[in-house]
Structure 1
Amino acid sequence: MTTATTRRPAGPPLAVPDYEVVVIGAGFGGIGTGIKLKEAGIHDFVILEQADDIGGTWRDNTYPGVAVDVSSFTYSFSFEMNPDWSRAYAPGIELKAYADHCVDKYGLRPHIRLNTKMVSGEFDAVNHLWRGTTADGEVITSRYVVGAPGVLTQPKLPDIPGVADFAGDTLHTARWDHSVDLDGKRVAVIGTGATSVQLVPSIADRVKSLAVYQRTPIWVAPKPDLGIPAPMRRLFRDVPGAQKSMRAATSTLTEAFMTLGIVHNRQLPLLVKGIEALCTAHLRRQVRDPELRAKLTPHYGFGCKRPTFSNEYFRTFTRPHVELVTDGIERITETGIVTRDGRHREIDVLVLATGFKVFEKGNTPAHPIHGLDGRELGDWWDENRYQAYQGTTVPGFPNLFFISGPYGFTGGSYFQLIENQARHFLRCLKEARRTGATWVEVKPEAHQRYFDYVQRRQPSTVFYSNNCAASNSYYFDRHGDSPILRPSSAVEAWWDSRTFALSDYEFKRPDAGVRRVRSVRSVEGVGA
Structure 2
Amino acid sequence: MATQLMRRGRESFVVLERADAVGGTWRDNVYPGIACDIPAHLYSFSFRPPADWATLFPRGAEIRDYLQRTVDEEGVAPFIRLGCEVLDARWDAESARWSVTTTGGGPVRARMLVLAVGRLSEPHSPQVEGLDGFSGTVVHTARWDPGAVSGGERIGVVGSGASAVQIIPHLAELAEELVVFARTPAYVVPRRDRAFSAEERARLRDVGAAKELREQLLLDADRAFAQRLRLVPDIDQIRDLALGHLRDQVANPILRQYLTPDYEIGCKRILLSDDYYPALGRPNVVYEPSALTSVVENKACAANGATHDLDVLVLATGFEATRPPVAVRVRGRDGKVLDDHWSKGMVSYASTTVAGFPNMFVIDGPNAALGHNSAIYMIETQLDYVLGALDYVAAESVLSLEVSAEAEAAYTAEIDERSAPTVWLTGCNSWYVDPRSGRLTLLWPGTAVSFRERNGTFDPAPYVVCVDGAGGVR
Shorter-chain TM-score: what band? Answer: over 0.9
Number of the residue aligned with 1:196:
164
Is 1:475 aligned with 2:435? Answer: no
Q: Is the 8 A contact 2:158 2:314 kept in 1?
A: yes
Tell me, in whole angstroms, the C-alpha distance in 2 between the residues paired with 1:220 and 1:365: 32
**1:109-139 per-position Cα deviation (integer Å, ceiling 9, x unaligned):** 0010011111111100000001111146632
Compare 450-459 and 500-509 and name the one that shifted more: 500-509
Number of the residue aligned with 1:439:
400
Q: Is the 8 A contact 2:141 2:315 kept in 1?
A: yes
Shift of 1:316: 1.1
Shift of 1:71: 0.9
One-letter code aligned to 1:509 = V
Number of the residue aligned with 2:119:
151
Tell me, in whole angstroms, the C-alpha distance in 2 between the residues paired with 1:104 and 1:404: 23
Number of the residue aligned with 1:393:
353
Change (3 A) 1:497 1:342: closer
Match of 1:164, SS state, is helix
Tell me, in whole angstroms, the C-alpha distance in 1 between the residues paired with 2:303 and 2:379: 44
Tell me, in whole angstroms, the C-alpha distance in 2 between the residues paired with 1:452 and 1:146: 24
**1:274-331 per-position Cα deviation (integer Å, ceiling 9, x unaligned):** 1011010100011111111000011111211222100011111111101100144331
Structure 2 residue aligned with 1:502, among 450, 460, 471? 460
**1:418-474 per-position Cα deviation (integer Å, ceiling 9, x unaligned):** 11111111111111111111101112232222112111111111112xx4x23x321
Is 1:48 aligned with 2:16? Answer: yes
Q: Is the 8 A contact 1:423 1:497 kept in 2?
A: no
Number of the residue aligned with 2:422:
461
Q: Is the 8 A contact 2:389 2:458 kept in 1?
A: no
Match of 1:460, SS state, is coil
Number of the residue aligned with 1:246:
213
Shift of 1:511: 2.8
Number of the residue aligned with 2:285:
322
Tell me, in whole angstroms, the C-alpha distance in 1 between the residues paired with 2:114 and 2:382: 10
Structure 2 residue aligned with 1:207, among 175, 179, 198? 175
**5+ residue gaps, structure 1:** 1-32, 515-528
Tell me, in whole angstroms, the C-alpha distance in 1 between the residues paired with 2:466 and 2:61: 45
Q: Is the 8 A contact 2:327 2:338 kept in 1?
A: no
Tell me, in whole angstroms, the C-alpha distance in 2 between the residues paired with 1:364 and 1:57: 16
Tell me, in whole angstroms, the C-alpha distance in 2 between the residues paired with 1:221 and 1:302: 11
Number of the residue aligned with 1:420:
381
Number of the residue aligned with 2:32:
64
**1:165-211 per-position Cα deviation (integer Å, ceiling 9, x unaligned):** 11111110000001223311111101110110000012211111100
Change (3 A) 1:366 1:202: farther
Tell me, in whole angstroms, the C-alpha distance in 1 between the residues paired with 2:408 and 2:244: 44
Is 1:116 aligned with 2:84? Answer: yes
Shift of 1:367: 3.8
Shift of 1:366: 4.2
Change (3 A) 1:340 1:491: closer
Q: Is the 8 A contact 1:403 1:417 kept in 2?
A: no
One-letter code aligned to 1:243 = A
Q: Which runs of structure 2 are paired with 1:62-461 in the superposition (5 Å)?
A: 62-135=30-103, 138-237=106-205, 239-257=206-224, 259-262=225-228, 264-265=229-230, 268-360=231-323, 363-383=324-344, 385-411=345-371, 412-461=373-422
Q: Is the 8 A contact 2:156 2:181 kept in 1?
A: yes
Match of 1:331, SS state, is strand
One-letter code aligned to 1:76 = S
Tell me, in whole angstroms, the C-alpha distance in 1 between the residues paired with 2:409 and 2:366: 13
Q: Is the 8 A contact 1:73 1:81 kept in 2?
A: no
Higher relative contact order (CA 8 A, sep 6+): 1
Tell me, in whole angstroms, the C-alpha distance in 2 between the residues paired with 1:87 and 1:275: 24
Shift of 1:512: 4.8
Shift of 1:240: 4.8
Tell me, in whole angstroms, the C-alpha distance in 2 between the residues paired with 1:215 and 1:343: 13
Shift of 1:502: 2.0
Q: Is the 8 A contact 1:49 1:116 kept in 2?
A: yes
Match of 2:111, SS state, is strand
Is 1:36 aligned with 2:1? Answer: no
Tell me, in whole angstroms, the C-alpha distance in 2 between the residues paired with 1:487 and 1:477: 14
**5+ residue gaps, structure 2:** none
Compare 446-455 and 195-204 and name the one that shifted more: 446-455
Q: What percentage of residue pairs aligned between the two structures are identical?
A: 36
Q: How many residues align?
A: 470
Shift of 1:248: 1.6
- Indicate the structure (1 or 2) with the bigger Cα radius of gyration: 1
Tell me, in whole angstroms, the C-alpha distance in 2 between the residues paired with 1:63 and 1:415: 22
Change (3 A) 1:460 1:364: farther
Tell me, in whole angstroms, the C-alpha distance in 2 between the residues paired with 1:434 and 1:327: 59
Q: Is the 8 A contact 1:184 1:207 kept in 2?
A: yes
Number of the residue aligned with 1:16:
none
Tell me, in whole angstroms, the C-alpha distance in 2 between the residues paired with 1:437 and 1:157: 44
Q: Is the 8 A contact 1:432 1:507 kept in 2?
A: no
**1:91-124 per-position Cα deviation (integer Å, ceiling 9, x unaligned):** 1000000010111111110010011111111100
Q: Which runs of structure 2 are paired with 1:504-519 in the superposition (5 Å)?
A: 504-512=462-470
One-letter code aligned to 2:16 = L
TM-score by length of 2: 0.95
Compare 55-64 and 446-455 and name the one that shifted more: 446-455
One-letter code aligned to 1:186 = R
